[in-house]
Amino acid sequence: MPRKTMIEAIRDALDVSMGRDERVIVYGEDVGFFGGVFRATQGLQAKYGRSRCFDAPINESGIVGSAIGMAAYGLKPCVEIQFADYMYPAYDQLTQEAARLRYRSNGDFTCPIVVRMPTGGGIFGGQTHSQSPEALFTHVSGLKTVVPSNPHDAKGLLIAAIEDPDPVIFLEPKRLYNGPFDGHHDRPVTPWSKHELGEVADGHYSIPLGKAAIRRQGSAVTVLAYGTMVYVAQAAAEETGIDAEIIDLRTLLPLDLDTIVASVKKTGRCVVVHEATLTSGFGAELAALVQENCFYHLEAPVARVAGWDTPYPHAQEWDYFPGPARVGRALVETLEA
Amino acid sequence: MADAGMLRFHVPEPEVRPGGTPDFSNVTIPKAGSVPRPEIDVDPRTIRDMAFSIIRVLNRAGEAVGPWAGLLNDEELLEGLRHMMTLRTFDARMQMAQRQGKTSFYMQHLGEEAVSSAFRKALKPGDMNFPTYRQAGLLVADGYPMVTMMNQIYSNEADPLKGRQLPVMYSSKEHGFFSISGNLATQYIQAVGWAMASAISNDSRIAAAWIGDGSTAESDFHSALVFASTYKAPVILNVVNNQWAISTFQGIARGGSGTFAARGLGFGIPALRVDGNDYLAVHAVAKWAAERARANLGPTLVEYVTYRAGAHSTSDDPSAYRPKAESDAWPLGDPVIRLKNHLIHKGAWSEDRHTQAEAEILETVIAAQKEAEGHGTLHAGGKPSTRDMFEGLYEEMPPHLRRQRQQAGV
């Protein structure tokens, strides 16, 4: 099977979707002729024409707002916000409009849009190129939130998101665009061509939203992770020698609670990890759900490893990013608790 | 330049406040028929002055004059009059129903009936409006059942929106009326997106965006103008300038100079200003803009100059911030009376027939109200089920919502 980077897999998903359904429209800042600042839409305008893939003014609210109108018309826009850090001007449109349109009109109008946005840190992106705002979406009823961690999933989940009848926030960890990253910034990065999850089947396939994947079977502790932190957790398990079961959530909402509960009931311990800031982060929801559903099976408090409650700094990148050492410590402490 | 001393902060104020004498002497009203009617493919740069004038058809004598006159026959005008009268009666009944506790909230159109009623008649089936909460004339003029509107206002068991929405936030795709949101201006850019989609699909349908004077200050107004301008979207960008945004006069949104129409000029969008209380002028201008959009000539911005004669909503008391008699002093008058006078002048209508029509319309509205109240009102009779609260958020209910529905015991 061919191996692709996550960028190539996303482009492939867009290509496949645009080829299968002429209602799929792709636009955003620098998305058209240039093919996107991360090259995710390269070649699509040449292949499908300027009516299907085009450049947008620098106006996030305009990009999402116009996409909602297009969806109400009957198209399926898949738009890009250049960085998740810049979605805030569109937050009104996403939370008050896209998320609510089906509900408030009782299905008279629907909003099958996908909003792609590069997310996450570990790239010296500083305050406005590193944020992980997923909790600001999972808190909004009516949205679905997806975070892939590898090229295979990125393609299958993006196709599923585009085919989904409801609005989907598709957060792409840009640190994973060219290869997996386990937080060891001092080591050379391996490309996706060296990783089995870089295998991306040609043509159409989809991965259902709302289904987690177990990346590593284990019996000692369950690790709930998504995006870049999946690889950090894997590195931490290897380095501490702890037999952790690592669950890649893939979709945060709707959440695959069954897989989580089955794993924690088996291991009796749980560590939640994410890059986003700790307080009121998505980890709080995960910890609460584990506590509610697995209380009598828990042998230790649910631990959370997250970004600090500060804006994402520049110089202190590796003091901020929750790397394998911090995750490893949490694993050890959870086992000793 | 000499030292200007301390800076002083400027906050615009309306000319008159409660207790004062209404004064619209600063509002320049051009003579009816005095503004030319350009071809639809006119170079926008050559009609910039139209953004500062007011297109008017009906003069003081009730005659239709000038190049924008002559588009509607008597039958159509009588139908328009009936629509406006129906909306006004509907408003009065629903206003009263709110006072009687049958619903929590209502918003009237008093004085603005011509804008949405006349505009609707310039559209074709399949076109889509993206209205605010003050364009129910679009529904009335399109024959949307009054009973259904009332069911929505009463949040009863027959409410098409299942009790999820605040009163007057209607939705009807079938009648080209996009779901109303409480968040101001959001629909303005959505209308542009809908129009872009129509062009992408090589369709012939057009969109109409609606916004009030106050909400033009929202950033989505700017977003819409940028996108409409960039992609030459087939959209009519309507600004209903009724002088007031709740308690703030239009100068807070616009400052002391220019017009709302003029905001389109910086985007290269042709902009017209029209007498919003003149049914014929509103219709003629809407038709011009619709033809432009349909001919792929791009967007048009239209400012309707009117006056919000009623309170902002049932939760508002305008006597706290403007003179009580200000609406009587409004120089563009009352849209219903002006069209009525025009039809009488033409010999197509009379005072007697008008009085009779008023009674008939009231009877029809009361009958509809009775039927709607048979389905329940907010606090009495049939209401949507608690189950409806959980349904319809996503096409398929996700597991966490199923669990919560079970917890709620439904």
* pLDDT band of B256, cuts 50, 70, 90: confident
- Give the pair of three-digit tokens for residue B199: 């062009």
Q: Is the pLDDT of residue A6 over 70?
A: yes
* B189 Cβ under 8 Å from any chain A Cβ: yes
Q: What is the pTM of this model?
A: 0.98
Q: Can you say whether residue B347 is alpha, beta or left, with left for phi > 0 and alpha for psi between -120 and 50 degrees?
A: left
Is B186–A110 a contact, with Cβ atoms under 8 angstroms apart?
A: no
Is B226–A62 a contact, with Cβ atoms under 8 angstroms apart?
A: yes
- Give the pair of three-digit tokens for residue A36: 């996107």
Is A74–B178 a contact, with Cβ atoms under 8 angstroms apart?
A: no
Is A59–B161 a contact, with Cβ atoms under 8 angstroms apart?
A: no
Report the run of H or E that residue B226 belongs to, with start and end: helix B219-231
Instruction: Note the pLDDT of residue A1.
Output: 86
- Give the gap in angstroms from C-alpha B175 to the nearest C-alpha of chain A: 11
- Give the pair of three-digit tokens for residue A243: 């037999």
Nearest chain A residue (CA) to B199: A51
- A290 Cβ contact list (under 8 Å, min separation 6): A224, A260, A261, A264, A270, A272, A298, A302
The closest CB to that of B392, out of A52, A107, A210, belongs to A107
pLDDT, tens digit, for every residue of B118-145? 999 999 999 999 999 999 999 999 999 9
**Residue pair B304/B274 in contact by the 8 Å Cβ criterion:** yes
Percentage of the residues of chain A whose pLDDT score is greater than 90: 99
- 3-class DSSP assignment, residue A171: strand
**Residue pair A83/B241 in contact by the 8 Å Cβ criterion:** no
Is B227–A66 a contact, with Cβ atoms under 8 angstroms apart?
A: yes
Q: Given strand B207-212, what is the order of strands in its sheet?
A: B128-130, B207-212, B235-241, B300-305, B271-275
The closest CB to that of A101, out of B169, B179, B223, belongs to B179
Chain B residues touching A106 at Cβ < 8 A: 160-162, 164, 171, 392
Instruction: Residue A253: name the closest of B395, B399, B388 by CA.
Output: B399
Instruction: Note the pLDDT of residue B2.
Output: 64
Q: Of residues A8 and A1, which shows the higher confidence score?
A: A8
pLDDT, tens digit, for every residue of A118-159? 999 999 999 999 999 999 999 999 999 999 999 999 999 999
Chain A residues touching B230 at Cβ < 8 A: 57
Is A210–B398 a contact, with Cβ atoms under 8 angstroms apart?
A: yes
Q: Is the pLDDT of residue A239 over 90?
A: yes
Nearest chain A residue (CA) to B229: A57
- Mean pLDDT, range A190-199, rounded to an integer: 96
Instruction: Note the pLDDT of residue B379.
Output: 94
CA distances B251 to A47, B12, B244, B319, Å, are 49, 6, 9, 19
Chain B residues touching A105 at Cβ < 8 A: 161, 171, 173, 179
Instruction: Residue B276: name the closest of B110, B392, B62, B389 by CA.
Output: B110
Q: Of residues B179 and B325, which shows the higher confidence score?
A: B179
Q: Is the pLDDT of residue B258 over 90?
A: no
Number of neighbours of residue A20 by Cβ within 10 angstroms: 14
pLDDT, tens digit, for every residue of A258-293? 999 999 999 999 999 999 999 999 999 999 999 999
The closest CB to that of A59, out of B173, B199, B226, belongs to B226
Is A106–B197 a contact, with Cβ atoms under 8 angstroms apart?
A: no
Could you give the CA distance from residue A20 to residue A25 in angstroms, rounded to a whole number? 12
Interface A-B, measured as beta-carbon pairs within 8 A, has a size of: 146
- Give the pair of three-digit tokens for residue B134: 């003050």
The closest CB to that of B399, out of A73, A103, A257, belongs to A257
- Give the pair of three-digit tokens for residue B404: 């919560």
Find the angle CA(A296)-CA(B399)-CA(A220) to the nearest 5 degrees.
35
Is B186–A74 a contact, with Cβ atoms under 8 angstroms apart?
A: no
* B170 Cβ under 8 Å from any chain A Cβ: no
**Residue pair A43/A214 in contact by the 8 Å Cβ criterion:** no
Chain B residues touching A110 at Cβ < 8 A: 395
Q: Is the pLDDT of residue B33 over 80?
A: yes
- A45 Cβ contact list (under 8 Å, min separation 6): A32, A33, A35, A52, A53, A54
Chain B residues touching A165 at Cβ < 8 A: 394-395
Chain A residues touching B219 at Cβ < 8 A: 61, 89
- A5 Cβ contact list (under 8 Å, min separation 6): A151, A177, A178, A179, A191, A192, A193, A198
* A156 Cβ under 8 Å from any chain B Cβ: no
Q: Is the pLDDT of residue B4 over 90?
A: no
Best of B200, B204, B215, B219 to substitute, by most chain A Cβ atoms within 10 angstroms, is: B200
Q: Letter for the amino acid at B162?
A: K
- Give the gap in angstroms from C-alpha B201 to the nearest C-alpha of chain A: 8
Instruction: Note the pLDDT of residue B314.
Output: 95
**What angle do the packed helices A257-267 and A282-294 form, to 10 degrees?**
60
Q: Is the pLDDT of residue B1 over 80?
A: no
Is A69–B393 a contact, with Cβ atoms under 8 angstroms apart?
A: no
Q: For chain A, what is the radius of gyration of the CA atoms?
A: 19
Is B200–A103 a contact, with Cβ atoms under 8 angstroms apart?
A: no
* B165 Cβ under 8 Å from any chain A Cβ: yes
Would you tell me which residues 287-306 of chain A have a C-beta closer than 8 angstroms to some C-beta of chain B?
none
Chain A residues touching B197 at Cβ < 8 A: 25, 69-70, 73-75
Nearest chain B residue (CA) to A209: B398
Share the mean pLDDT of chain A: 98
Is B399–A107 a contact, with Cβ atoms under 8 angstroms apart?
A: no
* B172 Cβ under 8 Å from any chain A Cβ: yes
- B211 Cβ contact list (under 8 Å, min separation 6): B132, B184, B185, B188, B218, B221, B237, B238, B239, B240
Could you give the CA distance from residue B244 to residue B22 in angstroms, rounded to a whole number? 14
Percentage of the residues of chain A whose pLDDT score is greater than 70: 100
Is A96–B197 a contact, with Cβ atoms under 8 angstroms apart?
A: no
* B164 Cβ under 8 Å from any chain A Cβ: yes
**Residue pair A65/A96 in contact by the 8 Å Cβ criterion:** no
B286: Cα separation from own chain's centroid: 13
Is B194–A89 a contact, with Cβ atoms under 8 angstroms apart?
A: no
Could you give the CA distance from residue B329 to residue B338 in angstroms, rounded to a whole number? 15
Chain A residues touching B394 at Cβ < 8 A: 102, 142, 144, 165-166
Percentage of the residues of chain B whose pLDDT score is greater than 90: 96
* pLDDT band of B255, cuts 50, 70, 90: confident
- Give the gap in angstroms from C-alpha A213 to the nearest C-alpha of chain B: 18
Active site residue A184: no
Beta strands in B104-196 (DSSP E): 128-130
Is B193–A69 a contact, with Cβ atoms under 8 angstroms apart?
A: yes
Q: Letter for the amino acid at A207?
A: I
* A208 Cβ under 8 Å from any chain B Cβ: no
Would you tell me which residues 104-133 of chain A have a C-beta closer than 8 angstroms to some C-beta of chain B?
104-110
* A19 Cβ under 8 Å from any chain B Cβ: no
CA distances A255 to A226, B398, B400, Å, are 12, 9, 8
